[in-house]
């Protein structure tokens, strides 16, 4: 569905919910279930916590729906709520204290030089049917520091525009682009074939490509 | 008109914007000319394009089984 039509349909559903037809809410949220869950898991990295936060976020969106002002898209608003809920949970659990921070990644000043220049051996998308490939990619995303993980999830996993990602994160579009650039290079290096299919993770020498 | 050359470092800086088609036509032309002659930068571009494509694939992150059902069961009593 083209965007204006979608937004029109959503505005109708929102109006119905606010006018006392709460059953319309399910229809409104259904296309974004996965988006909400992925947003939550990108921050919490844990399936059970992500599900709990996804539920909380959707409930919150329901109870706050009358305050939605259509200054942004409904999906952007919903993801923003999910982000806030996920971050609040992290703070509550003090887990951020244990979040490993890779200094090299954090120093976003200056250039990041790619580490691996070998001919790229493509990873075919069909391999995503296999659990170990999905795991390898998810691990690569998890290994990014939160700043970089966020932009990859918003822009590349959820396919949001640079503008929408900037709105959600409360930063400029230029900042999103800079972070995205670094994040993509880091991901690429994390999944590079390395030497004989192995890549040093710092502590150990690990086979990154399972095939 | 001859294309003005561009260094590897400059190419790395712009490779993400290149993928997003968020650069000027002039820069695109210069980068394309560079990729033709530089295997290293091509490997960087190929890798990034491959990884970005995989990350965007809906199969990568799936919601846990029963997620939708549990979600709407949670909402129902509040409606």
Yes or no, beta carbons of A122 and B72 under 8 Å apart: no
Question: In this predicted model, what pLDDT tens digit does every residue of B24-62 receive, in sequence order?
Answer: 999 999 999 999 999 999 999 999 999 999 999 988 888
Question: In this predicted model, what pLDDT tens digit does every residue of A189-205 receive, in sequence order?
Answer: 888 876 555 555 555 55
Question: In this predicted model, what pLDDT tens digit does every residue of A53-75 receive, in sequence order?
Answer: 999 999 999 999 989 987 888 99
- Tell me if chain B has a CB within 8 Å of the CB of A120: yes
Query: What ipTM describes this predicted complex?
Result: 0.87
What is residue B4's DSSP assignment? P
Question: In this predicted model, what pLDDT tens digit does every residue of A148-164 receive, in sequence order?
Answer: 998 999 999 988 999 99
Yes or no, beta carbons of B64 and A58 under 8 Å apart: no
d(CA B36, CA A70) in angstroms, rounded, equals: 46
**Backbone phi, then psi, for A44, in 5-degree steps?**
-95, -20
Of A25, A119, A187, the CB nearest to B43: A119
Distance from CA of A72 to the nearest CA of B (A): 22
Interface mutation vs chain B, best among A110, A181, A182, most B CBs within 10 Å: A181
Yes or no, beta carbons of B74 and A25 under 8 Å apart: no
d(CA A132, CA A209) in angstroms, rounded, equals: 9
pLDDT value at A105 more than 70: no
d(CA A15, CA A12) in angstroms, rounded, equals: 5
Alpha-carbon separation of residue A200 from A127, A184, A194, B15 (angstroms) = 23, 18, 8, 24
């Amino acid at each position: 569905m083209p965007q204006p039509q979608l937004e029109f349909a959503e505005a109708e559903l929102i109006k119905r919910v606010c006018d006392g037809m709460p059953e319309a809410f399910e229809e409104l949220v259904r296309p974004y279930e996965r988006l909400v869950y992925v947003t939550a898991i990108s921050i919490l990295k844990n399936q059970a916590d992500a599900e709990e936060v996804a539920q909380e976020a959707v409930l919150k969106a329901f109870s706050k729906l009358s305050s939605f002002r259509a200054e942004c898209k409904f999906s952007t608003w919903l993801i923003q709520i999910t982000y806030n809920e996920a971050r609040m949970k992290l703070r509550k659990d003090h887990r951020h204290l244990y979040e490993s921070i890779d200094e090299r990644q954090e120093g976003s000043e200056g250039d990041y030089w790619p580490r691996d220049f070998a001919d790229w051996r493509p990873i075919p998308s069909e391999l995503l049917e296999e659990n170990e490939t999905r795991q390898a990619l998810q691990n690569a995303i998890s290994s990014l520091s939160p700043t970089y993980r966020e932009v990859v999830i918003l822009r590349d996993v959820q396919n949001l525009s640079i503008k929408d990602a900037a709105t959600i994160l409360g930063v400029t579009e230029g900042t999103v682009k800079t972070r995205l650039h670094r994040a993509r290079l880091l991901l690429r290096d994390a999944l590079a074939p390395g030497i004989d299919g192995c890549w040093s993770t710092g502590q150990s020498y690990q086979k990154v490509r399972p095939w | 008109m001859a294309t003005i050359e561009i260094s590897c470092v400059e190419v790395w800086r712009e490779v993400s914007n290149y993928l997003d088609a968020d650069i000027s036509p002039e820069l695109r032309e210069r980068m394309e000319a560079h990729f033709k002659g530089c295997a290293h930068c091509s490997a960087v571009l190929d890798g990034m394009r491959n990884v970005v494509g995989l990350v965007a694939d809906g199969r990568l992150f799936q919601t846990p089984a029963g997620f939708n059902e549990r979600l709407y069961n949670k909402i129902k009593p509040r409606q």
